[in-house]
Structure 1
């Protein structure tokens, strides 16, 4: 039995066809009074569950009444099911959305507007989901309004590295998260295209990009520091990272959202060299910082080897189970028997510790840069785009010299002021394609918590995550209804 949202039967020509945009949604008769017409879908991230987006859902409910919005926090792809890959997760979520639309229709709702918000891995799942919905023709019956991602690794989680370190971490590290890990580290081969899924997801001729272009409001929120899971360059879709050392920058904030949301037009000023602290001052500052971090460092030295060992054992188990689930998914569209593979609630705390182990190991990898004057890197472990060297050079140069008429995202930093990260050709092509579609990029400076990846959406209610409430308020103030 084929799945309701299965692209396996679609040939490559259709997948990358030059889609013709459908005419604007026709105005139809009003639905039953007091029945909301706008569906908002929330998609959690890796290892996640619907509780992670509770604050987003509550903020929407507090701002808008029940006759304005219907909120769906997806629950078909929770916990260890997120190991099964972006494609499988998206098919589950798309099916959940379709069933919700059918149920809403029976309840008297005439859904004419659609928005989707993805957190972390959920942002990538959301990008795949809208391609499926677009292919099914749902966007001809309802208008895509808001597409937003929070801390989503649009370019993958591969650390910009060269040489031996690149192979050691980015290839071996990818094996710890089953199919999702291979996709996030860009070492998978999607549908025998000889390209990673994320590269196909950003192909300008794909149904995924055309679906994204249908949304009236496209935005992303990216942490500039303290995100151990997905760093700035990937969540902000950038080939440079100006925020490695904040002591050399004066940050500028949006009025009313200080000191959390940076001004997208002019986020920072570089402090002149003569105004920077001298060597002895920097040494004192660093010494105080190291002293404050000593207990954390000692704990990591003792606990991290134990946590990583547990993480690797768990990863092996989950990878085996994930392969079995994918086989069941392909053979059984009712997903019967999936429950036996879910992590029991009693070990949630242990799983959170395993998450931290992976995040700490990932964060320990220092970014590297391309040689000055060079913007091309050969990476045999990543199937790059089909760009020639000349066209690749032109595409990267156009990030600073040309702006698409549809581009909503201003250049947030002068590229010449910062070195280019050691990204792959596929990643540079992704940046070009996503910038051409256009995102409003909102830069987030969370400094009260060292775990800004969770704080950005107030994943749990705790004092250290209070700055995330400012982020959510800014999102709501720019949400289109």
Structure 2
């Protein structure tokens, strides 16, 4: 009798590679690999590598297609060893979470889940509603350059792509309860979004947690009371506002010891700016030259990578197998439904038509988004102070209605950017990345086998 296998796929993020999830893989193996599932399933991990580095520019959809091929190849390899994959879990980090949401749609379209049970779907610091346009210069700059310098992926991050035949962006289609991506995601036994509560300047809390309001904004001023999980810190167990707001801190006397202490940065400077005297002084003096030079090099590099990506996409879309890809099939389906709606609107009295079967309710529901696509694509004006658009609010609503769904928040303070630390991406180079180990242990321990 063949051994049953529970396959766990790990999907890295933008500019990433499998090494970025090495600590996640290690902790899952150490804590769960020796345990068998209820029916004796052995846990096997696959760190996807087919969509690494520059390939991540090519879009969420092409990333999902690549990882799907890699996963199916791994299933064939496992079956060649007289084993059988009976369960699947998917864990995506950052962009990898969006790629994973597309991936499960591809697998469903290929009837993969006819014989494989969907178990855990987990994302960590994933921009589920895209990148939020905050009212700041940095955010406006990224929103301008992102779609231009990050190729197809950048367009999808900011929902300016017209992915479907009706003109809707991919992120909105993937959050549509009537589409294959959402429906397949809903079939997983356990769905969890891990998000950084603070200091994630890459994927902010609102997008990673699929929320419209940020309770951690100005948490010091509001005196937010945070209780950590005793076992899995920095995972937050609970948080609440105090009964009475804290008084504003007293300002120290000028030139006092406390005054000078307040001038020191609360968050450590980047390593290059922490050099000893006199090297730190030389670096500070050269900053007016180094910063523009660095930015120019970065823009040129991103532009070249984006151009290469668009060339790859042209080749991919010219391939004969493109007609079998999910993007093409969904495009055809939306176009047919849109035509059906237009035909119905042109002749609103179907009784007078020749005897034809009426459009089914499910088909009409599927066609509804296409009929209002113009409003949805244009509804990108930010509302309130968070920068969340009406389009993103709809995505938040739908995602929060997923079954078997929960969120876990990590509180990693005193760092410039918690995005890499939450998955302990490079513990050898940055010791503070070990603060993400609690998140990874929580993730591993709560996987349903």
- Give 1:73's match in structure 2, choosing from 25, 38, 47: 47
Which of 293, 298, 308 does residue 321 from structure 1 map onto? 308
Q: What 5-or-longer segments of structure 1 have no aligned partner?
A: 1-30, 336-381, 389-395, 397-418
Q: Is the 8 A contact 1:448 1:467 kept in 2?
A: no
Instruction: Name the structure 2 match of 1:445.
Output: 411
Post-superposition shift, 1:201? Answer: 0.9
Aligned counterpart in structure 2 of residue 455 of structure 1, from 418, 421, 439: 421
Are 2:249 and 1:277 equivalent residues in the alignment? yes
Structure 2 contact 169–377 (Cα < 8 Å) conserved: no
- 1:291 deviates by 9.8
Q: CA deviation at 1:421?
A: 1.5
Q: Give the superposition deviation at 1:444.
A: 0.3
1:205-244 superposed Cα distances (whole Å, 9 cap, x missing partner):
1100001100000001111122121111111111111222
- Deviations along 1:158-208, one digit per CA (max 9) or x if unpaired, are 32349x998664234321111111110111111332221111111111100
Say how many residue pairs are matched.
373
How much does 1:290 deviate?
A: 6.8
Q: In the alignment, which residue of structure 2 is the partner of 1:135?
A: 109
Do 1:250 and 1:271's aligned partners in 2 also have CA atoms closer than 8 Å?
A: no
Change (3 A) 1:42 1:258: closer
Over the aligned positions, Cα root-mean-square deviation in angstroms equals 3.2
CA shift in 2, pair 1:253/1:479, >3 Å: farther
Assess if the C-alpha contact under 8 Å between 1:221 and 1:444 holds in 2. Answer: yes
Post-superposition offset of 1:383? 6.7
Is 1:174 aligned to residue 144 of structure 2? no
* Matching residue of 1:466: 434
C-alpha distance in 1 between matches for 2:310 and 2:99:
19
Of residues 423, 430, 434, the one that matches 2:395 is 430
How much does 1:321 deviate?
Answer: 0.6
Find the aligned partners of 1:131 and 1:420 in 2 and give their Cα distance.
34
Where do 5+ consecutive residues of structure 2 fail to align? Answer: 35-40, 275-282, 323-372
Alignment partner, residue 345 of structure 1:
none
CA displacement, residues 99-136 of structure 1 (integer Å, 9 cap, x when unaligned): 11122112111111100000000000000000111122
Q: 1:385 aligns with which of 376, 387, 392?
A: 376
2:105 partner SS: helix
**Alignment partners' CA distance in 2, 1:119 and 1:334:** 28
Q: Does the CA contact (< 8 Å) of 2:130 and 2:156 recur in 1?
A: yes
| Partner-residue secondary structure (3-state), 1:190 | coil
Instruction: Mark the CA change 1:260 to 1:274 in structure 2 (over 3 Å): closer, same or farther.
Output: closer
SS of 1:110's equivalent? Answer: strand
Report matched runs for 1:241-260 at 5 Å.
241-247=214-220, 248-257=222-231, 259-260=233-234
SS across alignment from 1:427:
helix
For residues 273 and 300 of structure 1, what CA distance do their matches in structure 2 show?
41
Checking the alignment, whether the CA contact within 8 Å between 1:36 and 1:70 is kept in structure 2 is: no
Range 279-288 or range 311-320, more displaced:
279-288
Q: Which string of whole-angstrom CA distances, capped at 9 and with x for unpartnered residues, describes residues 133-169 of structure 1?
A: 112221121111000001101111132349x998664
Q: Which has the larger radius of gyration?
A: 2
Query: Per residue, is there more strand in 1 or in 2?
Result: 2
CA 96–258 in structure 1, closer or farther in 2 if over 3 Å, else same: closer
| Residue from 262, 268, 281 that aligns with 2:240 | 268
